[in-house]
Amino acid sequence: MPVRITPSILNADFANLQAEIERIPSADLLHIDVMDNHFVPNLTIGLPVVESLLKVTDKPLDLHLMIEDPDRWAPAYAEAGASSVSFHVEAAKAPVRLARELRAQGARASLGLKPATPIEPYLDLLGEFDMVLIMTVEPGFGGQKFLDIMLPKIRRTREAIKTRGADLWIQVDGGVSESTIDQCIEAGADTFVAGSAVFSADDPDAMVRTLRDRAVNFGRCC
């Protein structure tokens, strides 16, 4: 199972994001957290910053929209050139229609779930998506402790994908580190958001490689 490490720039130095991105050349994608201070109690960046980042990196951008009314705002991120756009089902009015619009714009469409949101009501919709993002912390802030009670939900999601013969990534976001990534891959995840673990390291790119190697080696042996 391929493994992808997607460092979150939420924990990077916002005064010089280009330089921070250049510190992690081994990243598979760059995870960009867009927060509106309504859906979550934090305010980060929006479309203008994303458009600027697209001009200074060839890395694919993995947008995580923690915003109200993604039906209205999400397509613009795909149109701008984001490789993947995640929106939260708790905020979307028409998730299937939105997923199809994102795909039509050339982006991967991803369904985001807060910790308290079960996967079961959305199993019949999986074919409309390219990824399921399972939050392993409450969305809104970086540096939170990994919620291991989310591991059963990751397992149920992986089993549902296998049963349907679908080809979806499972991304975990929140508290991913050297001490938690084994549990995530054992449960069935393959795409990992790591923020503070990467950008608090002395060598962020070495940490990206360490996380990937750990996940790959665990997957081989287990």
- The answer to whether position 177 is within a domain reads yes
Residues annotated in a binding site: 8, 31, 33, 64, 140-143, 173-175, 195-196
Q: Can you name the residues that pair with 172 across neighbouring β-strands?
A: 134, 192
> What total number of domains does the chain contain?
1
For residue 188, with 0-12 CB atoms within 10 Å meaning exposed, 13-18 middle and 19 or more buried, which class applies? buried
Token pair listed for 39: 């859906």
- The answer to whether position 222 is within a domain reads no
CB 42 within 8 A of CB 74: no
- The answer to whether position 27 is within a domain reads yes
pLDDT at 16: 94
Check whether 1 has a pLDDT greater than 90. no
The one catalytic residue in 33, 36, 62, 130 is: 33
Q: Which domain holds residue 105?
A: 4-217
Check whether 120 has a pLDDT greater than 80. yes
Check whether 217 has a pLDDT greater than 80. yes
pTM of the model: 0.95
pLDDT at 142: 79
Q: Can you name the residues that pair with 62 across neighbouring β-strands?
A: 31, 84
Q: Which is nearest to 90 in space by CA: 63, 64, 70, 120?
A: 70
Residues annotated in a binding site for substrate: 8, 64, 140-143, 173-175, 195-196
Residue with token string 């280009």: 18
Check whether 220 has a pLDDT greater than 80. no
- The answer to whether position 28 is within a domain reads yes
- The answer to whether position 59 is within a domain reads yes
CB 33 within 8 A of CB 10: yes
Question: 3-state class of 147 per DSSP?
Answer: coil
33 catalytic? Reply is yes
- Average pLDDT (115-139) is 96
How many Å apart are CA 92 and CA 173, to the nearest integer?
19
- Average pLDDT (200-213) is 97
| Number of neighbouring beta carbons within 10 Å of residue 113 | 21
Amino acid symbol at 64: H
The one catalytic residue in 28, 36, 62, 173 is: 173
What's the full length of the chain, in residues? 222
- 182's CB contacts (< 8 A; 6+ apart) are 214, 215, 218
pLDDT at 141: 82
CATH at 92: 3.20.20.70
- 160's CB contacts (< 8 A; 6+ apart) are 119, 123, 126
69 catalytic? Reply is no
- The answer to whether position 105 is within a domain reads yes
Residues annotated in a binding site for a divalent metal cation: 31, 33, 64, 173
pLDDT band at 222 (very low <50, low <70, confident <90, very high): low
pLDDT band at 221 (very low <50, low <70, confident <90, very high): low
Check whether 215 has a pLDDT greater than 90. yes
- Average pLDDT (49-71) is 97
